[in-house]
Amino acid sequence: MYSGIGAMRNFQTKLDVIGNNIANVNTYGFKKGRTIFKDLMSQTISGASGPNAGAGRGGTNPKQVGLGSQLAAIDTVHTQGSLQTTGRVLDLAISGDGFFVVGDASGNNRMYTRAGNFYLDSQGYIVNADGQYLLGVGNSRLQIPTDAKSLSIGADGKVTIVDASGTLSTIGTIQLAKFANNDGLEKAGNNLFRETTNSGTPTTGAPGANGTGTIVSGALEMSNVDLAEEFTEMIVAQRGFQANTRIITTSDEILQELVNLKK
């Protein structure tokens, strides 16, 4: 009965993860979650024994009864999402590995994201939807002159403008961060990831360096959630939940029969 209760709790967690994936199917840069189970400890009724040549007997295997399942991990799957063309210069997607780096005005409190929908504030700085600054190489902010005639961003991250006099100039280079273990990053909400002790310290630099991908201007990376896969996993979790409720009801019926023996 307790094995069934534990399994029901695990399948509820799986359904929570699936629900979050489906809710973010259209969230830019979202990386889906995956629930992994593992078996709980087993009660040993008898241990294994080796062959006994003197008695003329072979070895025997251990006899164990499992005590249920438990949650092993909730993974974040960092596969590439499909790119959606928007035609907007400040919509940026990363083709390959790496994360955009955003932070405060001094270049501190850095966070990492795959969502590349950026904007300009009143002073011409490139910011995300929450007002955090997009940081360039050297953790510097990227400011577009308010009188600039045009703006372009290359695959190498270089931000180029044509100023009021018609002169072409580069104002900076967008930096990308690469982690030794992307799965170790912590989701911080608002499409952001936070560095942890298990993600490793990021290596930052221009796009295309240190194993990072390149930037695609005028496109956004969509969520990597596959609805067909999520609905299939939802059915599996639902049936698993139902099966474990039957374990509980069947155990209850057996207990009821035992109680009725006294009558």
Could you give the CA distance from residue 118 to residue 88 in angstroms, rounded to a whole number?
Answer: 10
Query: Which position has the token pair 């405060």?
Result: 104
Give the β-pairing of 83-85 and 186-189: unpaired
Radius of gyration for the alpha carbons in the chain, expressed in angstroms and rounded? 27
What's the confidence (pLDDT) of residue 3? 83
Strand partners, 127: 119, 133
What's the confidence (pLDDT) of residue 30? 96
Could you give the CA distance from residue 221 to residue 120 in angstroms, rounded to a whole number?
Answer: 20
What's the confidence (pLDDT) of residue 90? 96
Helices assigned H by DSSP within the chain: 2-23, 227-260
Backbone angles phi, psi at 44, to 5 degrees: -90, 120
What's the confidence (pLDDT) of residue 263? 66
What's the confidence (pLDDT) of residue 232? 96
What's the confidence (pLDDT) of residue 112? 97
Query: Which residues are CB-neighbours of 184 under 8 A, at least 6 positions away?
Result: 196, 197, 198, 199, 200
CB 98 within 8 A of CB 178: yes
What's the confidence (pLDDT) of residue 251? 85
What's the confidence (pLDDT) of residue 216? 97
CB 18 within 8 A of CB 230: yes
CA geometry: angle 247, 71, 77, nearest 5 deg: 125
Query: In the 8-state DSSP scheme, what is residue 183?
Result: G
Going through 9-104 in order, the beta strands assigned E by DSSP cover: 33-39, 42-46, 63-66, 69-76, 83-85, 92-95, 99-103
Output the 3-class SS for 203-230: EEECCCCCCCCEEEECEEECCCCCHHHH
pLDDT (tens place) for every residue of the chain, 263 residues total = 778 888 889 999 999 999 999 999 999 999 999 999 998 888 889 999 888 877 788 888 999 898 888 999 999 999 999 999 999 999 999 999 999 999 999 989 999 999 999 999 999 999 999 999 999 999 999 999 988 999 999 999 999 999 888 889 999 999 999 999 999 999 999 999 999 999 999 999 999 988 999 999 999 999 999 999 999 999 999 999 999 888 888 888 888 888 888 76
